[in-house]
Amino acid sequence: MSSEKAIAVQINGIGRELSAPANETLLDCLRRHGFFEVKSGCEKGDCGACAVQIDGEPVDSCLTLAWTVEGRSVTTLEGLNDTDNPHPLIAAFLEHGAVQCGYCTPGIMIAAEALLRETPEPSDDDIAIALSGNLCRCTGYTKIFAAIKQAGEVLRAGGNDD
């Protein structure tokens, strides 16, 4: 049995101290600490369901050891869902019906938010590349692409204070 280590980390803008054994993935650690919006899919980095942002960059939490986020900032889908100022991706996904079963949605939104921060007016190719690590078996991606483009329009128009 490995001993647990305390990890000081910012999760969704709030300072937290998590505990994790040296061999625990960030996915397992986050879920054990109540962050169930981070989904467990393939557990080998193929599906993107477990995607979170570490210091603003999307990563598969199933491939990241928890102790590596010491002193860093982790964002999950919950970090985009400020009830006073929700991210435009959330409204756009709902409006376009881009959510079907919803299992892939947290990881896709994490990747899409990072894309829109870097490329406010993404092309279809930009979106395809940004989502290349995310697998969705329900939607066919057409509605997801439309939602991401709409969210980009809202952000460019100043529709979110973040």
The predicted-structure confidence for 75-113, as pLDDT tens digits, reads as follows 999 998 877 888 999 999 999 999 988 899 999 999 999
In the chain, % of residues over pLDDT 70: 97
Length of the chain: 162
State the CATH number of the domain containing residue 116: 1.10.150.120
Q: For 16-48, write each residue's pLDDT tens digit.
A: 999 999 999 999 999 999 999 999 999 999 999
Please give the structure tokens belonging to residue 48. 């993107």
Q: Are residues 87 and 68 in the same domain?
A: no
Provide the phi-psi class of 30: left if phi over 0, else alpha when psi is between -120 and 50, else beta: alpha
Band (139; pLDDT cuts 50, 70, 90): confident
- The C-alpha atoms of residue 151 and residue 36 are separated, in whole angstroms, by 24
Q: How many CB atoms lie within 10 A of CB 79?
A: 22
Q: What is the mean pLDDT of the chain?
A: 94
Q: Are residues 100 and 72 in the same domain?
A: no
- The C-alpha atoms of residue 87 and residue 75 are separated, in whole angstroms, by 13
In the chain, how many domains are there?
A: 2
Verdict on whether the full-model pTM lies above 0.85: yes
Band (2; pLDDT cuts 50, 70, 90): low
- The C-alpha atoms of residue 145 and residue 115 are separated, in whole angstroms, by 12
In the chain, % of residues over pLDDT 90: 85
User: Average pLDDT in the 127-154 region?
Assistant: 95
Q: Are residues 44 and 59 in the same domain?
A: yes
What is the domain extent for residue 107? 80-156
Whole-number pLDDT of residue 10: 98
Is there a contact between 8 and 15 (Cβ–Cβ < 8 Å)? yes
Residue 60 belongs to some domain of the structure: yes
Per-residue pLDDT at 121 exceeds 90: yes
Band (161; pLDDT cuts 50, 70, 90): low
Helix (H, G, I), strand (E, B) or coil at 45: coil
Q: Are residues 51 and 102 in the same domain?
A: no
Q: Are residues 94 and 33 in the same domain?
A: no
Question: Among 23, 50, 76, which residue terminates a domain?
Answer: 76
Helix (H, G, I), strand (E, B) or coil at 107: helix
Is there a contact between 47 and 9 (Cβ–Cβ < 8 Å)? no
